[in-house]
Amino acid sequence: MLQKLLIEELQDMLHAEGQLVKALPKMAKAAHAPKLKAAFEAHLKETEGQVKRLHEAFDLLDAKATAKPCKAMLGLVAEGEETITEGKEKDANIADLALITAAQKVEHYEMSGYGSAVAIAEQIGKPKVATLLGQNQAEEVNADKLLTELAKAMLGRTGHARSEAV
């Protein structure tokens, strides 16, 4: 039963990553800051690698790599597209911060999905699968950290003074 659950989770992640392979180039194109654009482009390459690792995991589990529609990622990607559209009418820095927010929502979804999948793979005695999925999770964590660093730098350029709580 746990292996079936793991396969279902991987099918969900496969669909999610496939959606991101399509969405990340749009986010890179919409980004104004060169470092943000580069981060999205680099993460696209990582995401393509993550899809390959997912296929390897399916092979190790003797399961067919069939994507199961990921409704959560569909919603997050739709929000990202909305953010891109709305960003055209915003200050470049604010638009980029909104892109980062949308991207971090995606990263957090992926981190939790991979975290659960790693735990299940370990529980059912599939250490190679756990390692592959752990690599994907680590890349998502690193992407999230980079986005946070970029956001902090941009927040310093918004022109809004930080107010102290009274």
CB under 8 Å to 14, separation ≥6 — which residues? 51, 54, 55, 58, 65, 66, 67, 68
| CA 10 to chain centroid | 15
Q: Where are the domains positioned within the chain?
A: 2-154
Say how far apart CA 36 and CA 52 lie, in whole Å: 25
DSSP 3-state of 66? coil
**Global confidence as pTM:** 0.91
Q: Domain 2-154 falls in which CATH fold?
A: Ferritin (1.20.1260)
Dump pLDDT digits (tens) for 119-157. Answer: 999 999 999 999 999 999 999 999 999 999 999 999 987
Say how far apart CA 96 and CA 145 lie, in whole Å: 16
Q: How many CA atoms lie within 13 A of 84 on its CB side?
A: 16
Q: What is the pLDDT of residue 156?
A: 81
